[in-house]
Amino acid sequence: MARVEVDGVGLFFEAGGDGDPLVLVHGSWADHHHWDAVVHGLALRHRVLVYDRRGHSESDRPEGQGTRREDEEDLAELLQTLGFAPAFVAGNSFGASIALGLASRRPELFRGLVVHEPPLMNLVAGMPAYEEQMADTGERIGRVVRLLREGDALAGARTFVEEVAVGPGAWDQLPPQLRDTFLTNAPTFLDEQGDPDWASLDLAALSACDVPALVSRGAESPAWFGAVVDRVAGALPGVRTHVFEGAGHVPHVTHPEEYVELVTAFCAENGAGRP
């Protein structure tokens, strides 16, 4: 088991493959296994790094309230300590928010940026077109938080999967190992929600990040995700956008072949050998 200490926290990681470096940042509740369906395909063209974010699965879980900024600094130290910088960085959901937050402050660590549906709800707060949908999403997240605070990790995880992330009946369709991961990492969702800046991003700072970027959304995801993607894409000077037809919040799980093809093509266009 490979581990590295970052800012006093031991993080689990795995690395393999050969080529331009590519780092994958998982979202809420998950761990490095969330990328299992795409790691092999990506490693055919890249040196791929996956890891468990602080508090998740095989990494250390520090006491006290954490922040997304700490996750961003962890990513920065991983890139530098393990010799991956500058790297292509791909993030999903909260992992996308982490990648964007770091890119807005440390663009020199990035060769390229690939993000799917960062849940940066504050970027679209107050927009009349999404007000009702955002309020509904906020209520659903609030139910998850209440259940977790009451100590009911199972009900909290099920509610998140079925009412926030995927849809009705989805919990029972998850593989047992993935359900166990959700239950193990349930406290990390409370930690994320406790950070007052978890849903915010400095778009002005992000606009100074001039590395190639690919920002995507799923056609089946709630409309407010599309609005967030539009705002993020509008701030990035060198951006491409993509819509995964028939997909939602986790295309690397539901549409792995398309995800691998898209990411490898993007990286090839913007890799070390480009003119």
* DSSP output for 55-66: TSTTS---SS--
Residue 172 lies in a domain: no
- 31-62 tens-digit pLDDT: 999 999 999 999 999 999 999 999 999 999 99
Residue 52 lies in a domain: yes
Q: What is the dihedral of CA 66, 67, 68, 69, to 10 degrees?
A: -120
* Cβ neighbours, 10 Å, residue 169: 9
Q: Can you say whether the dihedral through the CA atoms of 243, 249, 250, 254 is positive or negative?
A: negative
What per-residue confidence (pLDDT) applies to 69? 97
Residue 187 lies in a domain: no
∠ CA 128-144-9, rounded to 5°: 105
Helix or strand (DSSP H, E) at 4 = strand 2-6
Residue 214: which residues within 8 A CB-CB, separation 6 or more? Answer: 112, 113, 114, 115, 239, 240, 241, 242, 262, 263, 266
Q: Which two tokens stand for residue 123?
A: 């970027």
What per-residue confidence (pLDDT) applies to 4? 94
Residue 169 lies in a domain: no
Residue 171 lies in a domain: no
Report the distance separating Cα 223 and Cα 140, nearest Å.
Answer: 16
The list of the chain residues with pLDDT below 50 reads 273-275
Residue 274 lies in a domain: no
* pTM across the whole model: 0.95
Nearest Cα neighbor of 155 from 142, 143, 168 is: 143
What per-residue confidence (pLDDT) applies to 165? 83
What per-residue confidence (pLDDT) applies to 1? 63
Q: At 208, give phi and psi (nearest 5°).
A: -85, -5
Nearest Cα neighbor of 111 from 180, 212, 225, 34 is: 212
Residue 50 lies in a domain: yes
Q: Looking up tokens 């890119």, which residue turns up?
A: 103
What per-residue confidence (pLDDT) applies to 112? 97
| Coil/strand/helix, residue 221 | coil
Residue 92 lies in a domain: yes
Report the distance separating Cα 51 and Cα 193, nearest Å.
Answer: 21
What per-residue confidence (pLDDT) applies to 275? 34
Give the count of domains, the chain: 1
What are the CA-CA distances from residue 182 to residues 6, 36, 150 (Å)? 24, 16, 16
Look up the domain containing 76 and give its range: 2-124+197-269
Report the distance separating Cα 14 and Cα 127, nearest Å.
Answer: 41
- In this structure, are residues 227 and 131 in contact, taking their beta carbons and an 8 Å threshold? no
Q: What is the 3-state secondary structure (H, E, C) of 225-274?
A: HHHHHHHHHHHCCCEEEEEECCCCCCHHHHCHHHHHHHHHHHHHHCCCCC
- 59-90 tens-digit pLDDT: 999 988 999 999 999 999 999 999 999 999 99
CATH of the domain at 222: 3.40.50.1820
What per-residue confidence (pLDDT) applies to 59? 97
What per-residue confidence (pLDDT) applies to 167? 83
Residue type, 216: S
Report the distance separating Cα 189 and Cα 153, nearest Å.
Answer: 11
What per-residue confidence (pLDDT) applies to 174? 87
